[in-house]
Structure formats: structure tokens, C-alpha cells
Homo-oligomer: A and B are copies of this chain.
Amino acid sequence: MSRRKILLIVAYDGTDFNGWQIQSAGRTVQGVMESGLSRMHGHHVRIQAAGRTDSGVHADGQCVTLYTDIDTVPADRFAVAANSYFPRDVKAVESREVPSSFHARYSALAREYRYYLLPSPVPLPHHRRYSLQLRTTPEVGALNRMAGLLCGTHDFATFAAARDTAPDTVRTIYSAAFFHQGPLLLFRVRANGFLWKMVRSIIGTMLHCKGDVEDFRRRFHSAQREEAGPTAPAVGLFLHRVEYDMNGV
């Protein structure tokens, strides 16, 4: 029996999940996906993800791999077949076969996260699950100057969560900028990797600096965790895309 490695690109609404990783208690994305895939296969199936998103964090481009012994479903139809085993708030968007050497986490070259802000004096019901409401409108020019400081290879220790165990806090940010999208203000950030809660810490610190770009620069360059502002809530954060070198895949 042939055994193929399948890559699923997965979207989920993090609102009703206790994060990605299976835990002793609580509904997790990994939990409902492994349970669905196990029912589909008739035996236990384990999956690997590009990154473990925290409780409440969303994804529209999480990457997940599994081995399948089902040989009746073409790789590009696997997403649709698997979706009937997944709940409404997690769905595979796309599927393809990858070589067994492919690793969802370690083969990743870059990741993009997005964070949605809703500058509005009142909360808007249709955006409440997917954005952070700001009662006042931040100055986008200042936010973009702060974002510009992040680009390049830097020590991001300021934005490393206290519990993070990463030995090395140097990362390379390829691009970081704010965009208007309807009533929303969208932060797009693409890097070779991210520290735990780094995007939420960046957003929290930017908002904490209230338009003072020099204050943000000082806090960032201090590389001291104590200089970070409060971590922004999970509600606005999306794992948007994971990039791989797909030559020959």
C-alpha cells in the first residue's frame, strides 16, 4: 500500500479553540483535525503544523502535513474529502502531495502574519471576532515609521514572551507595513521566523507608544523584555501564509 505525505493549507476561526496544540483539556485545532482525519482513515492519524498558534489566534494559511494510506483520493482533492470530517470553524483550503523530506515547520522559508485593528468609537458586530477595536484612530504614518524600523535582521528580544525558551532572539523581517482595508487597519509582517507572541508584542508596544516613534525605537533597540508594552489580544491575529521552496515538489 502506497503511503503519501499530504500538505494541507488550513483556515480556522480561532475564537472557539484553546489554541493549536492538543492539551489535557479544551478544544484545540490539532485535536479536532486529528480526530477528523482519524475517522476518515479508520486509524489514528498524527499531523504536524508549521506553527502552533495560541488560544484565540486565527489562521487562513496554516500548513499541516500528514501521511495517508488512502490511495483513492487524488492529492489535490484531499482537502475537499477531509473537510467533511472537520467542523465548520476549521477547513482545508488546498492540498497537494509533498516528498517525505518535507517538514511543515522546518522546511518553511518565511511566514506572514496579519493583525487587524478596527479604529472605531463603537465595536462593530461583524468584526468583533476578527479584529482588535481601538476607540481612537492611531496615526498611520507613525505606525508605518515604527514598522519600518523592524525591517532587516535584528535582535527582537524586546518582543519575546517571558516564557519563550528560544535561545536566539535574532530574526529577519522582510517586510512590515500597515494598510487600510475598509474600516480596518491591517498590519502585514513577513519574516524568516517569529518568536513566541512576537507579533502581538510588537502591536502592543506600537500602540503603547501612542505615535512616539523615538520611544518605540528606544524600546526596540534596548532588547529588554521589560521595555515591551502590553501584549495585544489574540483576536486580531492571523497566521496568513507559510512559504516553502517548492522547487521539485
Contact = CB atoms under 8 A, between A and B. Distances in A.
Interface of A: 11-13, 58, 60, 79-80, 83, 88-93, 121-126, 128, 130
The dominant DSSP class at the A interface is: mixed
A50 B126 CA distance: 20
Contact of A126 (B11, B92, B123, B124): B11
Total identical chains: 2
A121 B9 CA distance: 14
B83 A13 contact: no
19 contacts: A11-B124, A11-B125, A11-B126, A13-B128, A58-B126, A60-B126, A80-B122, A83-B123, A88-B125, A89-B125, A89-B128, A90-B125, A91-B122, A91-B124, A91-B125, A92-B122, A93-B122, A93-B124, A126-B130
Contacts of A12: 125
Given A13-B126, A58-B126, A90-B125, 13 more contacts: A11-B124, A12-B125, A60-B124, A80-B121, A83-B123, A88-B123, A88-B128, A89-B128, A91-B123, A91-B124, A92-B122, A93-B122, A93-B124
A125 B124 CA distance: 19
A83 B128 CA distance: 14
Nearest to A14: B125
Nearest to A89: B125
Contacts of A122: 79-80, 83, 91-93
Nearest to A83: B122
6 A-B pairs with least C-beta separation: A13-B125, A89-B125, A11-B125, A91-B122, A12-B125, A91-B123
